[in-house]
């Protein structure tokens, strides 16, 4: 039987500065939990538990649950309602995940109804921490989810799609109406799952990200023009079978990886 918890939603008004939109629909909360398929020895990190709506479902299935919350107002109630959960008052973006991992433990699994204004920074942090994190399930703006899932030669395809798909396998779990949140956002949402790849063929993460950002810096320009007066100006695109007059949106994720790896070798040899 599901344990009853005192209602703390009414005590704390959602704060715009934290991008808080409380998820109220228990069916959706249940679906997120079921999608995680939590195992007894899982170590789960919830980003921004807020008033504990999702925590209540995770709490029943997970004995190793960490809740990272920036809002100091809710900490005491979370600790009281979920005594077996390690509640950590911290900004997740700045939180060191290594502090909650131990040698021999499984990789962390991450879940959360995250603030939409910091979706990209959270994803980038998780990618940087992929040695510690196996997968993540997160609520985000539907438009952002569609950008992540977009393919080359589409207007949505860009930096986010290339970067995420280079390091993870993204999946759209289901769409969510704005009517199930308080306050109600102006956009539709989506629950996305990201399974981070154990191995990626990228030789230098920093060069890869810099190259992708540079390529999309002038979306309507050719790659040759985008790379002009940058560290990638002398890059021989034809080595990867890419025409210099192509635009970034026509390249696949594999194309960008190949270009980044050639750049890495060029920079290392000092022949740029």
192-228 pLDDT per residue, tens: 999 999 999 999 999 999 999 999 999 889 999 999 9
Q: How far is CA 190 from CA 120, 125, 143, 193, 194, in A?
A: 15, 20, 9, 10, 13
Architecture of domain 9-196: 3-Layer(aba) Sandwich (3.40)
Architecture of domain 205-269: Orthogonal Bundle (1.10)
Q: Domain limits of the chain?
A: 9-196, 205-269
Distance, CA of 127 to CA of 132 (rounded, Å): 10
Residue keyed to tokens 């007059």: 245
119-143 pLDDT per residue, tens: 999 999 999 999 999 999 999 999 9
Q: Is residue 192 within 8 Å of residue 172, measured between CB atoms?
A: yes
Q: Is residue 223 within 8 Å of residue 248, measured between CB atoms?
A: yes
pLDDT of residue 5: 39
21-60 pLDDT per residue, tens: 889 899 999 999 999 999 989 999 999 999 999 999 999 9
pLDDT of residue 1: 33
Cα 88-90-95 angle, rounded to 5 deg:
100
Average pLDDT of the residues in 75-89: 96
Q: Is 197 exposed, middle or buried (0-12, 13-18, 19+ CB in 10 A)?
A: middle
């Amino acid at each position: 039987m599901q344990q009853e918890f005192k209602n703390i939603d009414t005590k704390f008004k959602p704060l715009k500065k934290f991008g808080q939109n409380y998820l109220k629909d228990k069916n959706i909360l249940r679906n997120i939990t079921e999608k995680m398929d939590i195992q007894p020895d899982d170590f789960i990190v919830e980003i921004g538990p807020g008033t504990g709506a999702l925590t209540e479902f995770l709490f029943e299935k997970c004995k190793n649950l960490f809740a990272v919350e920036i809002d100091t107002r809710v900490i005491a109630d979370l600790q009281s309602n979920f005594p077996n959960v390690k509640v950590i008052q911290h900004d997740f973006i700045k939180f060191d995940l290594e502090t909650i991992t131990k040698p021999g433990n499984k990789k962390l699994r991450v879940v959360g109804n995250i603030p939409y204004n910091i979706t990209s920074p959270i994803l980038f942090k998780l990618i940087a921490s992929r040695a510690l994190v196996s997968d993540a399930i997160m609520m985000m703006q539907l438009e952002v989810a569609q950008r992540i899932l977009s393919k080359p030669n589409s207007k949505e395809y860009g930096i986010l799609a290339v970067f995420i798909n280079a390091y993870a396998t993204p999946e759209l779990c289901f769409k969510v109406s704005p009517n199930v949140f308080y306050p109600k956002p102006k956009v539709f949402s989506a629950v996305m799952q990201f399974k981070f790849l154990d191995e990626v063929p990228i030789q230098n993460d920093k060069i890869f990200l810099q190259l992708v950002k540079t390529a999309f810096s002038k979306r309507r320009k050719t790659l040759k023009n985008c790379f002009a007066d940058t560290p990638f100006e002398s890059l021989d695109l034809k080595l990867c079978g890419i025409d210099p007059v192509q635009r970034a949106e026509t390249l696949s994720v594999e194309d960008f990886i190949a270009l980044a790896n050639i750049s890495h070798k060029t920079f290392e040899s000092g022949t740029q």
